[in-house]
Chain A
Amino acid sequence: MTSVTVDKAGPTRATPKYGSIKRDRAWALRWSFVFLTLFAFAFLIPPIYMFITSLKTSAEISAAKNPWWVFNPTLGNYIDLLAAPQYLIFFKNSAIVSVSVVVITMLIAIPAAFALSRMRFWGSATLATGVFLTYLIPETLLFLPLFKMFAVFNELTGIQLLNRWWVLLVVYPTLTVPFATWIMIGYFASIPKELDEAAIIDGASWMQTLVRVFVPVALPGIIAATIFAFTVSWAQFLYPLAFTTSIDQLVLPVGIITTLIKGDVFNWGQIMTGALLGAAPPLIIYAFLMDYYIAGLTAGSTKG
Chain B
Amino acid sequence: MTEFLNDWGISLMVFLPLVGAVLLAFVPAKDEESIKLVALVASLATAAVGVLLIWNFDFDAAQTLQYDVNTGWIDIVNARYHVALDGISLPLIALTLLVVPLVIIYSWNHIPAPGNPKVFLMLILVLHTGMLGSFVAQDLVLFFVFFEVVLLPMYFMIGVWGGEDRLYAAIKFFLYTLFGSALMLVSFLALYWSAGSTTFDMVELAQEVAARDISLTTQVLIFGGMFLGFGIKVPMFPFHTWLPDAHTQAPTQGSVILAAVLLKLGTYGFVRIAIPILPEAAVEWAPWIGLLSVIGIIYGALGCLAQTDMKRLIAFSSVAHMGYVMLGIATLTSFGINAAIFGMVAHGLITGMLFFIAGSIKDRYHTLEIKRLGGLLVQAPRMGWILGFCTMASLGLPGLAGFWGEFPAILAAYNPADGVSQTLFRVYMVIAAIGTVFAAGYLLWLLQRTAFGTPSEEFAEDPEITDMVATEWISWTPLLILIVVFGFVPGIIFGITNPAVIEGLQALSQGAR
Co-complex (A, B):
no
Chain A residues with a Cβ under 8 A of chain B: none
Chain B residues with a Cβ under 8 A of chain A: none
